[in-house]
Amino acid sequence: MTQKQSDLLILIPARSGSKSIPNKNTILLSGEPLLSWTAKVAIDSDLSKNIVLSTDSDKIAQLGKELGLQVPFIRPKDLAQDRTLQLDVIKHAVTLLSENFNMKFNSIMLLQPTSPFRSRESIVKSYDYFCKYNADTLITISDVSKFAPSTKYLVEKSLLPDLFQLELLSNEKQNRGTLRQDFEQVWWRNGSIYIFKTDTLLNSNSLYGGKTIGMPTNSVESINIDTPEDLALAKIIARGLKNF
């Protein structure tokens, strides 16, 4: 690893509002607030002394401080809406830290609390790869080859709320079929870990630079809590991990 702790900002975004799961970032997962799962693994990684929480909530800010996170600002409410872009949240944090606190970083690692099961080992390895291969961006990825074009359909029209008339997405004949081993390897950005150069963010207005690399993570680390069903599954997994 070629960079120093002071070169990396670990940013954890945790807003207060969520329509699908109210108070999602503070909801208990095996007895611990969801935020704490990410805070603990970020601190345990020992990659940076600058682990910053971006939140619009005084309650979440206090929890973050108790967990050992830095909370140098409260995010404006207009950057904590359902349709707020993560890019704008990151740019706000980076600009504020630079201009108001003279905190500047070569690279940024984004860890969203909704991916609670990423491991310390994955965080350390991802940053090692990011530095070793001089990437502009690193993302964690999951294999979704089973969702090949020959298995995807568009909704032609709705027959009932839970019944649709379908049209095959690909040009292949519906009765032809495709062997699983012939599926093209396809990867999905699972959102567990993002790392990107600060220059990429500020100069390109994007998290993605010219050289983007992907690191696969297992199905548990790839879980992202977005719906009540996701949360129910996460609670089962959390209990299993605590008892392992």
Q: Same domain for 195 and 211?
A: yes
- 161 vs 170: CA distance, rounded Å: 25
Q: Same domain for 116 and 153?
A: no
Q: Same domain for 127 and 156?
A: no
Q: Same domain for 95 and 76?
A: yes
Instruction: Name, in order, each residue with C-beta under 8 angstroms of 117's C-beta and a sequence gap of 6 or more.
Output: 37, 220, 221, 223, 234, 237, 238, 241
Residue 70 per-residue DSSP state: B
Backbone angles phi, psi at 203, to 5 degrees: -85, -30
Task: Give the long-range contacts of residues 63-69, CB within 8 A, separation 24 or more.
Answer: 63/26, 63/33, 63/35, 63/36, 64/12, 64/14, 64/35, 64/39, 67/35, 67/36, 67/39, 67/40, 67/43, 68/39, 68/43, 69/12, 69/39, 69/42, 69/43
Backbone angles phi, psi at 147, to 5 degrees: -95, 50
Per the structure, the complete domain to which residue 156 belongs is given by: 149-182
In a domain, 244, yes or no: no
Q: Tell me, what's the pLDDT at 244?
A: 61
Q: Same domain for 65 and 113?
A: yes
Residue 90 per-residue DSSP state: H
Q: Same domain for 27 and 10?
A: yes
Q: Tell me, what's the pLDDT at 1?
A: 45
Q: Tell me, what's the pLDDT at 181?
A: 66
Residue located via tokens 């032809």: 176
Digits of tens for pLDDT over the chain (244 positions)?
445 556 999 999 999 988 889 899 999 999 999 999 999 999 999 999 999 999 999 999 999 999 999 999 999 999 999 889 999 999 999 999 999 999 999 999 999 999 999 999 999 999 999 999 999 999 999 998 877 777 788 999 999 999 999 988 876 554 455 666 667 788 999 999 999 999 999 999 999 999 999 999 999 999 999 999 999 999 999 998 877 6
Tokens representing 38 are 């990410």
In a domain, 240, yes or no: no
The DSSP H or E segment spanning 242 is helix 228-242
- 161 vs 159: CA distance, rounded Å: 7
Q: Tell me, what's the pLDDT at 148?
A: 73
Question: How many domains is the chain partitioned into structurally?
Answer: 2
- 36 vs 231: CA distance, rounded Å: 15
Q: Tell me, what's the pLDDT at 171?
A: 66
At 56, the amino acid letter reads D
In a domain, 243, yes or no: no
Q: Same domain for 123 and 69?
A: yes
Q: Indicate which CATH number applies to the domain containing 91.
A: 3.90.550.10
Q: Same domain for 70 and 117?
A: yes
